[in-house]
Amino acid sequence: MKITLTLAKADVGSIGGHIKPGSRLMGAVSDFIAREGKHLIKDSYISHTGDDIAVLLSHVRGVSAPEIHKLVWDAFWSAAEDARKQGLYGAGQDLLKSAFSGNIRGLGPGICEMQFEERPNESFLMFAADKTDPGAYNLPVYLALVDPMYNSGLILSPIMFKGFRFTIMDVSHTDGDRVIELDSPEQIYDIAALLRDNQRFVIESVHSRTTGEPCVAVSTTRLHNIAGKYTGKDDPVMMVRVQGPFPATGEVLQPFKIGHFVAGFMRGSHVGPLMPVKSNSTISWFDGPPIVSCTAFCVHDGKLSEPADVFDHPFWDYVRDKVSRKAIDIREQGFSGCAMLGYDELEYGGIVEKMADLDKKFRVRPVKGKPRGRRAK
Ligand code: 13P
Ligand code: 13P
Ligand code: MG
Ligand code: MG
């Protein structure tokens, strides 16, 4: 049976700052999907990661189905209304447009989708991250799919020997989606040359080169450039199919033990380590640290199994301690150097005005004995 998984996320309001949506708001989204989606979808799962609500739907209507996108949009929209009534912070934050126009892309919420022939034991992972952007997945996906130091299946499982095809987007290009396809293992240096720049070149999807089947889908957008002003980070979701021609679950999880440094954290303007957290975790210190949750499912005839919270395990407590130490280390240098994002990535217009103002006050000091305006040699 050909099934579609649609995973969308939005921040539609949060308690006490950018912390968590709260049970009433979660209830509003679940109730709406259950009521309005009855005849459209096969199953659904609603969760939150920090202040972002993630809606996972299974259905048979294919990728970019307008009725599915509208269902998600309307669910977020009605929850935003509820958030306004509750007086929550940032009500409707990620709903950048007021009208739905056939596809949720470009309207604010993040979305990734996959359509595939369901395997008899179809297993997949749903990732949701807060206080960061889609480039946060570049390194873990690269390591899990191309590096035998992380994915032992690349040398043990013949069905993976051919490698994977990466579709990478240049998110700084605002005039349409500018993408490139590159194959591992032959082009891993080219893939790495792009993926080192998390703010510009971002994985959108990955396919198996053995079966042609989709393996990874990320909610990659050029949104923060389109919006042109601070609207929060594009806190990203991702789905990864696992086992068989794809990496094993544990191979996909392995790179998340690094707690690599990503963009985001306080005011979307800093650098912090990505902490793997339990599902439905909140945000705390310095509006962070950046967090990622992962829930494993099987799906059969479009019905989702019960969720398995894969970062809810003693191993990840140890990792969380390590990541906390990394977060404290980088925060110790405050605004200085690599602890904050570069000028182009700061998500606040205020600093642009401040720099323009300061720029006017600079003067070029004359050098004694040299005519003005000539460079001293
Ligand atoms: P969100 O993008 O998660 O809403 O966070 C915004 C922010 O400013 C955190 O400090
Ligand atoms: P305000 O400047 O509106 O308080 O927003 C800041 C913010 O949300 C960063 O966390
Ligand atoms: Mg928020
Ligand atoms: Mg968020």
Residues 45-97 pLDDT 10s: 999 999 999 999 999 999 999 999 999 999 999 999 999 999 999 999 999 99
* 89 CA closest ligand 2 atom index: 8
What lines the ligand 2 site, CB under 6 Å?
18, 267, 287
276 lines ligand 1 (CB under 6 A): no
Q: What is the pLDDT of residue 375?
A: 58
Catalytic, 360? Answer no
What whole-number percentage of the chain has pLDDT above 90?
88
Distance separating alpha carbons of residues 303 and 118, to the nearest angstrom: 11
Q: How close are the terminal C-alpha atoms of the chain, in Å?
A: 75
Q: Whole-number mean pLDDT of the chain?
A: 94
Tens digit of pLDDT for each residue in 89-143? 999 999 999 999 999 998 999 999 999 999 999 999 999 999 999 999 999 999 9
* 11 CA closest ligand 1 atom index: 4
pLDDT band for 223, please (50, 70, 90 cuts).
low
Catalytic, 230? Answer yes
pLDDT band for 350, please (50, 70, 90 cuts).
confident
Tell me which of 19, 96, 131 to substitute to probe ligand 1's pocket, judged by most ligand atoms within 8 Å of the beta carbon.
131
Q: How far is the CA of 115 from the centre of ligand 4 (A)?
A: 27
Q: What is the pLDDT of residue 353?
A: 86
Q: What is the pLDDT of residue 376?
A: 52
Ligand positioned closest to the Cα atom of 48: 4
The 10 Å Cβ neighbour count of residue 308 is 15
Distance separating alpha carbons of residues 87 and 100, to the nearest angstrom: 24
Q: Whose CA is nearest to atom 5 of ligand 1?
A: 232
Q: What is the pLDDT of residue 314?
A: 98
Distance separating alpha carbons of residues 134 and 22, to the nearest angstrom: 24
What contacts 161, CB < 8 A, 6 or more positions away?
Answer: 154, 210
The answer on pLDDT for 227 being more than 60 is no
Q: How far is the CA of 18 from the centre of ligand 4 (A)?
A: 7
Ligand positioned closest to the Cα atom of 92: 3
Distance separating alpha carbons of residues 89 and 82, to the nearest angstrom: 12
Strand order in the sheet with 43-49: 43-49, 52-59, 2-10, 110-117
Q: How far is the CA of 165 from the centre of ligand 1 (A)?
A: 33
Q: What is the pLDDT of residue 229?
A: 55
59 lines ligand 1 (CB under 6 A): no
pTM confidence score: 0.95
Tens digit of pLDDT for each residue in 242-301? 999 999 999 999 999 999 999 999 999 999 999 999 999 999 999 999 999 999 999 999
Q: How far is the CA of 235 from the centre of ligand 3 (A)?
A: 9
Catalytic, 131? Answer no
**Residue 358: helix, strand or coil by DSSP?**
helix
The answer on pLDDT for 231 being more than 70 is no
* 93 CA closest ligand 1 atom index: 4
Q: Whose CA is nearest to atom 6 of ligand 2?
A: 267
Q: What is the pLDDT of residue 371?
A: 76
Q: What is the pLDDT of residue 115?
A: 98
Q: What is the pLDDT of residue 79?
A: 98
| Catalytic annotation, pick one of 147, 197, 230, 257 | 230
β-partners of residue 206 are 166, 216
Ligand positioned closest to the Cα atom of 270: 1
Q: Is residue 143 a contact partner of residue 255, using CB atoms and an 8 Å limit?
A: yes
Q: How far is the CA of 131 from the centre of ligand 1 (A)?
A: 6
Tens digit of pLDDT for each residue in 30-46? 999 999 999 999 999 99
Q: How far is the CA of 51 from the centre of ligand 3 (A)?
A: 6
Question: What is the arithmetic mean of pLDDT over 334-340?
Answer: 97
Of the ranges 156-165, 334-343, 347-356, which one carries the lowest mean pLDDT score? 347-356
287 lines ligand 1 (CB under 6 A): yes
